[in-house]
Structure 1
Amino acid sequence: MTEHSSRTTPPKHRGLPGFLRDNGLGLFFLATFLLALVGQAIAGHADFNNQMAADQLQQVEFGEYLTTSDFAVDVSENWQSEYLQFFLYVGVTVWLVQRGSPESKELHKGGTESDEEQLVGEYAKEGSPKWARAGGWRRAVYSHSLLLVMGTIFLLSWLVQSITGVAAYNEEQLRQLQAPLSWADYLGAADFWNRTLQNWQSELLAVASMAVLSIYLRQRGSPESKPVGAAHSATGVEG
């Protein structure tokens, strides 16, 4: 008698309907991101031209506005704060736990965990990524690849924010017949840190709220929530 594996293989969905179902979460957020970006561009263009009119300066076309430092700094300052949120959350949840939160690991699992728990090296499975089975620098890099990529995107977007921010700031300075700042001086300016910290505080508050509120509140069927009937003290359990 042939022995059948106890593992179940998810059905393969063929064609466009299957692709949409299998990738619905990513596609939904990509679509809403693009809609929000377009909406921001339209609203930002109108606001920019209102400022130009108030300063009795020539207004710009929509396509021209998309190349301005004003639009670029508004976009990049939001991106860097979002990726800072993910960078910190991915990093600190390795070591820090929160009793009762589905956003936390179980209380006894703080740290990088063993090779067996992480399915690397000799404990890798048939479907494990090649670099998880490898040793040396490849496993080391892949073991921290999510944190490295999130951190890199954060730093790059923060750099873009600083460059486009000083350009936008200096344009405003020149319109008011005031002296512009160098990039190095702008990094210590109130405008730069006001833009930066107002985004950081909102992202950090949102993460803290999710980690704590999910201890006591539920959303049936969501992997971001515990099962409706789970105890408040249940940690690292997803519904």
Structure 2
Amino acid sequence: MKKSFIYKNSLSIVFLALFVAALFGQTIFGWKVYNSELADVGQRPLNLLYYLRSGHFISATFENFQSEFLQMMLYVVLTIFLRQIGSAESKKLNEKEPVDRDPIPTLDAPRPVRSGGWRLKLYKHSLSISFAFLFVFSWAMHLVGSFRYYNDELGMVNKPSIDLVSFISKPDFWFESLQNWQSEFLSVASIVILTIFLRQKGSPESKPVDAPHMETGK
């Protein structure tokens, strides 16, 4: 029986829908919070379009993005080399796995595999490169947003603004970044360790329910 487009893409569709809903909620509530801050210092509220360009919105949005992409970049790269006995998230301790084999340029292989050369060399690392780019971009946008918001707060109390170099040397930006990074590192450590002992029937992130605790990999 032929499966529908929605069935075949339901995992990405659901997560993208959840993302859009959460981002919409963050935007509306963040807008209200920021306008409340402006009202407290006697300034006029921003309309929604102006809020979307504000440091408050940019900082809050990309502060979360950058930590997620950092987590995924490190997870993709570190799982190449590092192991955790018993974890469903680890490669096996002493065996080669399908992801380790050299690519074979079959007819249905991706085009870079069939092309070979520099395209193949780049494609072999394209996932980690993409996550690294997304992390650096999100980190830079978080920095720009936080810098704007910090100076906006100074302006609210009639204090002079500071330059970017002075801002990045302050603890505010690094506090925002590290409080997100530590939560992502903890979440990865949790799934790596908990999948040693706990199971979820039907999930590809779990080992089979009857698998021994010390069996490594799925």
Shared fold (TM-score, shorter chain, > 0.5): yes
**Aligned ranges 1:189-208 → 2 under 5 Å:** 189-208=170-189
Q: Give the aligned partner of residue 168 of structure 2.
A: 187
Q: Which stretch shows the higher mean deviation, 170-179 or 154-163?
A: 170-179
Structure 1 length-normalised TM: 0.86
* TM superposition shift of 1:64: 2.4
Structure 1: segments with no counterpart, 5+ residues: 1-10
Report 1:1-239 matches (<5 A): 12-13=2-3, 18-109=4-95, 117-118=101-102, 120=103, 123-237=104-218
AA matched with 1:59 = P
Residues 54 and 148 in structure 2, CA contact (< 8 A), matched pair in contact too: no
In terms of Rg, which structure is larger? 1
Number of matched residues? 218
Contact 1:95–1:110 under 8 Å retained in 2: no
TM-score, with normalisation over the residues of structure 2? 0.94
Using a 3 Å threshold, how does the CA distance of structure 1 residues 112 and 141 change in structure 2: closer, same or farther?
A: farther
Shift of 1:35: 0.2
Q: Describe the superposition over 1:136-192 as per-residue Cα deviations: whole angstroms up to 9, x where unpaired.
A: 211110000000000001001111111111111111012122232211222221111
Contiguous gaps of at least 5 residues in structure 2: none
Identity over aligned pairs, percent: 39
CA contact (8 A) 1:97 1:110 kept: no
Distance 2:96 2:183 in 1: 27
Task: Judge conservation of contact 2:83–2:90 (CA < 8 Å) in 1.
Answer: yes
The RMSD of aligned alpha carbons is 1.8
What CA deviation, in whole Å up to 9, does each residue of 1:70-90 have, x standing for no partner?
101100111011000000000
What is the alpha-carbon distance in structure 2 between the residues aligned to residue 111 and residue 134 of structure 1?
24
